[in-house]
Amino acid sequence: MGLSDYLKLKWHTRAFSERDIRDYQWRELNALIRYAAQKSPYYASILPKEGLSSWDAYRALPIMDKTTLMTHFDGINTEGLKRDDIERYAVEKERNKDYLGYYQDRFVVGLSSGTSGNKGLFLTDKALTQRLPFVFLARSGLRLRDLPFRILFCLRVFSQGFADINAPGVSLHYVATMTPIDEVKREIQERRINVLMAPPSFVRLLLVHASSFKGQLKTIVCYAEVLPKEDKVRFESQFGCRVIEIYQASEGQIASACAHGTLHINEDLVVAELVDDLGHPVTQPGIPGQLIITNLVNRVQPLIRYRMNDWLVLKDGCPCGSHFRAIDHVIGRQDDVMVFTNHLGQLRPVFPDLMSRWIITFDARIREFKVIQAAIGELRVLIDTQPHAVEDRFLGQLKRDLLKHLAEYDLRAKISLELVTLTYPADNRKFKRFEVNTAKKETSDVGKRD
Ligand SMILES: [Zn+2]
């Protein structure tokens, strides 16, 4: 099964015309809809049992989000699984740091714990999970000329899906993202690793050792967090290798990089729509749209028109020639968008990728940072420059710089800055560079002027 999946996936990316994509999606979508209408009590009342009459009918289906998913968990899944049981199982696994194994020997349970307490439980069939490594290989953007792949995989948590990767010419070694950085360096050298897979925040930690890997590392694959363009450029020049991303979430395998390093939507695995904040479709390249997906391959927990927190900006095609839509960049999470006021007192959003760019490009010694917004127009910015020391005036200059950038957009702000040592969460939560909680005003923390 694995190899045929690999070939099929390769074939789709290269050969599908736009028309083929639409036809393929239409068949898969209708098969899913008929299945869900029949097997899921929740969808039975929403979806037409005989399938869809048109794409317009599809776009008229209600949009689902994580709250709906969790509220109607028992009715949505097609296997009669109960949220209470699954939750107990997931929490127990989490507590014991035991990330292997299948629920009832059949299902992979994914737990995503949003910092807002918005927990999500995701179910995947074991059989599907075992095919995912082939999705990864077919769509990883790795070049066959770099075979054999000696991959170091830096994971926050280990999961069964990754344990099953086993293919000729590919060896995988795992380290936890909490592993001391000198040890990781040793692993890369001793195992002659040529492919590093890690979240961008972890790659940033390795930057101090970048010169020792030059010529050895062929590819860095980033995943799990948004990879800002500035980081990509910096990694490429300092490690002297290609840097590509894959974009996957508990909700699905959303996009993979081609040999040119462009992220393409996996049009044969998900139906992806982009909408603006009024819910209108966004189809033009260059304009941000919030991602709404239908996962075409997950039958256990059908996600049909599911709203992700991520916003995407598409671009016009890619030299590889694939008709799978190309992503220019992924914009942080919706709840991380910062809010400021202009001189008329109107509220204006600032997307995290813009703020990231301002901070990262200010000084190359900034290794990591965190921005906390506890009230509209007020930021607390934590900066970590280790192992480099910085001058006394460093923070003052950065603050002036940020205020100037904001002022160019007619935005005003109060900013406080601190030099700190930032550590990564020991559990499986993503490191959040942006925390926005403007509803809960914590006056003790904001408004400090330095
Ligand atoms: Zn491409």
- The enclosing domain of 278 has a CATH number of 3.40.50.12780
Please provide the size of the chain in residues.
450
Contacts of 347 (CB under 8 A, 6+ apart): 339, 340, 341, 376
CA 217–ligand 1 middle distance (angstroms)? 22
Q: How far is the CA of 108 from the centre of ligand 1 (A)?
A: 31
**Backbone angles phi and psi of 421, in degrees to 5:** -105, 120
Burial of 180: CB neighbours in 10 Å, binned 0-12, 13-18, 19+: exposed
pLDDT grade for 144, boundaries at 50, 70 and 90: confident
The answer to whether 315 touches 327, Cβ cutoff 8 Å, is yes
In this predicted structure, the answer to whether residue 117 has a pLDDT above a threshold of 60 is: no
- 51 shares a domain with 184: no
User: Both tokens of residue 31?
Assistant: 């098969």
pLDDT tens profile 187-226? 999 999 999 988 887 898 888 899 999 889 999 988 877 7
Q: Is the pLDDT of residue 184 over 60?
A: yes
Going from the Cα of 430 to the center of ligand 1, the distance in angstroms, rounded, reads: 28
Cα(13) to ligand 1 centroid in Å equals 9
15 C-alpha vs ligand 1 centroid, how far in Å? 12
Q: Is 103 a member of any domain?
A: yes
Residues 30 and 155 in one domain: no
- Rounded to the nearest whole angstrom, what is the distance from the C-alpha of residue 317 to the centroid of ligand 1? 7
The pair of structure tokens assigned to 61 is 């289906």
CATH code for the domain in which residue 426 is found = 3.30.300.30
In a domain, 152, yes or no: yes
Ligand 1 centroid–CA 47 distance in Å is 35
Task: With a cut of 80, say whether residue 336 has pLDDT above it.
Answer: no
- Domain-embedded: residue 319: yes
Q: 126-138 and 2-15 helices cross at what angle (nearest 10)?
A: 50
Q: Are residues 175 and 316 both part of a single domain? A: yes
Quote the domain boundaries for residue 307. 131-296+303-332
Q: Using the mean position of ligand 1's atoms as its centre, give its distance from the Cα of residue 255 in Å.
A: 11
Stretch 48-73: mean pLDDT, rounded? 94
Q: Which residue has the higher pLDDT, 377 or 259?
A: 377
Q: What are phi and psi of 317, to 5 degrees?
A: 55, 180
Mean pLDDT of 110-115: 59
Whether residue 121 is found in the same domain as residue 170: no
The Å distance, Cα 321 to ligand 1 centre, comes to: 6
Residues near ion ligand 1 (Cβ under 5 Å):
258, 260, 262, 318, 320
133 has pLDDT over 70: no
Confidence of residue 166 (pLDDT cuts 50, 70, 90): low
**450 within a domain of the structure (yes/no):** no
What's the pLDDT score for residue 53?
Answer: 96
Q: Report CA(202)–ligand 1 centroid distance (Å).
A: 26
Position 449 scores a pLDDT of 29
Residue 435 alpha carbon to ligand 1 centre in Å: 33
Least confident segment among 95-99, 174-178, 228-232, 343-347:
95-99
Residue 428: which pLDDT band, with cuts at 50, 70 and 90? very low
Q: What is the pLDDT of residue 96?
A: 72
Span from the CA of 320 to the centroid of ligand 1 (angstroms): 4
pLDDT at res. 93: 76
Identify whether 444 is part of a domain.
no
The whole-number pLDDT of residue 159 equals 57
Q: Are residues 266 and 371 in the same domain?
A: no
Q: Residue 179 above 90 pLDDT?
A: no
User: Above 90 in pLDDT, residue 36?
Assistant: yes
Question: What is the residue-wise DSSP string for 76-95?
Answer: HSTT---HHHHHHHHHHHHH
From the CA of 318, how far away is ligand 1's center (Å)? Answer: 5
Q: pLDDT band at 351, cuts 50/70/90?
A: confident
Report how far ligand 1's centroid is from the alpha carbon of 327 (Å). 9
Q: Decide if pLDDT at 5 tops 80.
A: no
Within-domain flag for 409: yes
CA 140–ligand 1 middle distance (angstroms): 11
257 — pLDDT class (breaks 50, 70, 90): confident
Q: Are residues 61 and 156 in the same domain?
A: no
- Which of 170-184, 221-235, 243-257, 387-401 has the highest average model confidence (pLDDT)? 387-401
How far, in Å, from the CA of 213 to the mean position of ligand 1?
A: 27
**Of residues 425 and 248, which shows the higher confidence score?**
248
Query: Is residue 240 domain-resident?
Result: yes
Give me ligand 1 centre to Cα 12, in Å: 13
Does pLDDT of 445 surpass 50?
Answer: no
pLDDT at 339: 85
Inform me whether the pLDDT recorded for 440 exceeds 50: no
Q: How far is the CA of 440 from the centre of ligand 1 (A)?
A: 43
Tell me the CA–centroid distance for residue 324 and ligand 1, in Å: 8
Phi, psi of 28 (to 5 degrees): -65, -40
Supply the pLDDT for residue 315: 95
- In the predicted model, what is the mean pLDDT of residues 262-271? 94
**Percent of the residues in the chain that have a pLDDT greater than 70, as a whole number:** 84
Same domain, 242 and 363: no
pLDDT score of 182? 86
Whether residues 318 and 356 fall in one domain: no
| Ligand 1 center from residue 16 Cα (angstroms) | 13
The domain total for the chain is 3
Highest-pLDDT range among 5-19, 48-62, 270-284: 48-62
Q: What is the structure's pLDDT at 212?
A: 92
- The Å distance, Cα 194 to ligand 1 centre, comes to 22
**Interval between CA 122 and ligand 1 midpoint (Å):** 30
The helix/strand/coil state of 152 is strand
Residue 299: the pLDDT is 96
pLDDT for the residue numbered 422: 85
* Torsion (CA) 369, 374, 377, 383 in degrees, nearest 10: -20
- Do 93 and 149 share a domain, yes or no? no
Which of 79-93, 173-187, 273-287 is predicted least confidently? 173-187
C-alpha of residue 21 to centroid of ligand 1, in Å? 16
First-to-last C-alpha distance (Å) of the chain: 62
Q: How far is the CA of 267 from the centre of ligand 1 (A)?
A: 13
The Å distance, Cα 125 to ligand 1 centre, comes to 30
Cα-to-centroid distance, 304 and ligand 1 (Å)? 27
Asked whether the predicted pLDDT for residue 157 surpasses 70, the reply is no
Do 211 and 147 reside in the same domain of the chain? yes
**Shared-domain flag, residues 140 and 256:** yes
Distance (angstroms) between ligand 1 centre and the Cα of 14 equals 9
| 385 in the same domain as 362 | yes
DSSP element (H, E) containing 221: strand 219-222
Asked whether residue 449 is domain-assigned, the answer is no
Band of residue 331 on the pLDDT scale cut at 50, 70, 90: confident
CA neighbours closer than 13 Å in the CB half-sphere of residue 3: 2
**Mean pLDDT value of segment 109-122:** 65
Mean pLDDT of the chain: 84
